[in-house]
Each structure stands twice: as C-alpha cells, then as structure tokens.
C-alpha cells in the first residue's frame, strides 16, 4: 500500500470512528417511552429489543409504539418509543387503562406495571405560529380530546397544564394544523426507579 493510500485509510477510519461515537453518545432527541418504563440507563440494559411491547400495542392498544430508529441514536435504536403522530397512548382514559398490554408483554422488566397516577410520558409544547385557534380559527380540538383536563381554553389559545398532562398525545394526534401546533416531548416524564 502506498503512503498516500495508507493516510487516506487512516483518515477515513478516524472520520468514521468520530461519526460513530457521536451517534452512540448523543441521540438527536430523547425518545418518549411507554408507560412504566424504568429509568433510561436501566431501560437500555434490560430492553432486548424483542418488539413484544410494540406487537401488544398494535394488537390490544392504539398502535402508538414503534421502534426507535438510527435518527434517534444508535444507543436507543430498536427500542420502543411512543409516536403520537401515529396514534395516542391510551393508558389513561382509553382501551389500555388498567391493562397496559405493552407492560404485560415485556419479558425483561424494562416496562413495569404502574398505577394510573404514576403515568406521565411527557409534556406538550405549543407553537402559536401553527395553532388554528390562535390564528383566528375556530379550532380547540386539543381541549375537546384531552382525557385529563390538562388542555384548557384561555382566550384565543389553548393552555396546557403540565401537572395534569400525562403525555398521552391525544391532542397532538388530533391537531388538524399542518404542521402540527403541538409537540409531545419527554419533559417531566415519570420513570420507574425502584428496580
């Protein structure tokens, strides 16, 4: 191998290693976990990426669970995440309340049964630039579909009360704005710690 060829090989290997390290240690965003998920470091150790929770959600729930992709980060790729654009989580006020089929399907304990009061997947972020009501329209579908009373009408805009919001994503799923005026983020999520 020529000296030039060797240097190209070393340089390309270094670049690939840096990119891989960046993807491993930093995901583009935190993912929304199913109800009853243990704290993230333990979750990643326990989750075997079998997809049983995702299958149970499709069969007995709303179908909101899907596999995290490489865009979420290599570290979390293949683990379950909630996608409120696909469907809301129905652990509160829906077909999964008290049943949690995703938790029952988990063979490793990465998901644990939790009381209704301990479910909080995340919080809502509102963007008035896209909100139909805030722009003068007649839409308050987010307030209408909220199962916990966390979405309330204040003048021409919806307000989301974090302490009441369980992060089910019903409002995100139902929002007719394009792009959506609402986003569900894992801020304030509750995770099982005693494991």
Walk along the chain (195 residues) and give the pLDDT tens digit of each residue.
777 766 666 566 656 655 655 554 554 459 999 999 999 999 999 999 999 999 999 999 999 999 999 999 999 999 999 999 999 999 999 999 999 999 999 999 999 999 999 999 999 999 999 999 999 999 999 999 999 999 999 999 999 999 999 999 999 999 999 999 999 999 999 999 976
Domain residue limits, the chain? 28-119, 120-189
Count of C-beta atoms within a 10 Å radius of residue 109? 15
Fold agreement between 28-119 and 120-189: yes
* Residue 56: exposure state from Cβ atoms within 10 A (0-12, 13-18, ≥19): buried
Q: Going by CATH, does the domain composed of 120-189 fall within 3.30.70.20? A: yes
Q: 134: which 2 tokens?
A: 């805030």
- The arrangement of secondary structure in 28-119, i.e. its CATH architecture, is 2-Layer Sandwich (3.30)
Task: Give 184's strand partners.
Answer: 124
């Amino acid at each position: 191998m020529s000296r030039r060829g060797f240097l190209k090989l070393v340089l390309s290997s270094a670049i690939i290693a840096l990119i891989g390290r960046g993807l491993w240690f930093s995901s583009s965003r935190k993912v929304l976990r199913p109800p009853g998920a243990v704290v993230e470091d333990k979750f990643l150790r326990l989750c075997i990426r079998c997809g049983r929770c995702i299958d149970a959600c499709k069969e007995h729930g709303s179908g909101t669970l899907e596999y995290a992709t490489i865009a979420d980060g290599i570290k979390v790729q293949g683990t379950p995440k909630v996608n409120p654009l696909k469907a809301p989580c129905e652990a509160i006020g829906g077909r999964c309340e008290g049943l949690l089929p995703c938790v029952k399907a988990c063979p490793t304990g990465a998901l644990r049964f939790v009381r209704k009061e301990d479910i909080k997947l995340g919080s809502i972020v509102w963007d008035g630039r896209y909100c139909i009501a805030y722009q003068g329209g007649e839409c308050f579908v987010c307030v209408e579909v909220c199962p916990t009373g966390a979405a309330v009408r204040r003048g021409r805009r919806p307000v989301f009360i974090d302490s009441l919001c369980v992060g089910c994503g019903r409002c995100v799923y139902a929002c007719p704005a394009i792009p959506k005026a609402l986003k569900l983020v894992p801020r304030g999520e509750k995770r099982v710690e005693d494991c």
